[in-house]
Amino acid sequence: MPKNKGKGGKNRKRGKNEADDEKRELIFKEDGQEYAQVLRMLGNGRCEAMCIDGTKRLCHIRGKMHKKVWIAAGDIILVGLRDYQDDKADVILKYMPDEARLLKAYGELPENTRLNEGIAGGIDEEDDGGADDYIEFEDEDIDKI
């Protein structure tokens, strides 16, 4: 049997905690980049995102982020636009929720952008549709049963 020359396997990599997410400098977009909100995850390191410029793009998660930074629907990301393909982009960075709120406060994201709600344009909080979920019984109704 061959000798093990590494420092461990999959479980060691899983237990490693990257501590670079605690306080990092806020990164703004440059030319050739755009802010986007993830609409849905497609698998195979890809996602569908709605960019702030109004274009829906197929985004590829770069290898450095793959399996290390988890991206879900509704997250705010920074994508690099491609010169040769306008309908595709590359995910450069995922913003933490507090960073996304700061971007919105600085005016980088439009006011109608919805943060921390899973799928963009999903369920409205102002909906009073949940009021019909509860049925009140009076004592007379229970006695009839």
- The parent domain of residue 45 ranges over 31-104
* Owner of token pair 């998660």: 61
Distance CA 73, CA 39 (A): 5
Give tens-digit pLDDT for 48-92: 999 999 999 999 998 888 888 889 999 999 999 999 999 999 999
Domain count of the chain? 1
From 3-7, 73-77, 80-84, 112-116, the region with the lowest mean pLDDT = 3-7
CATH number at residue 76: 2.40.50.140
Residue 21, in any domain of the structure = no
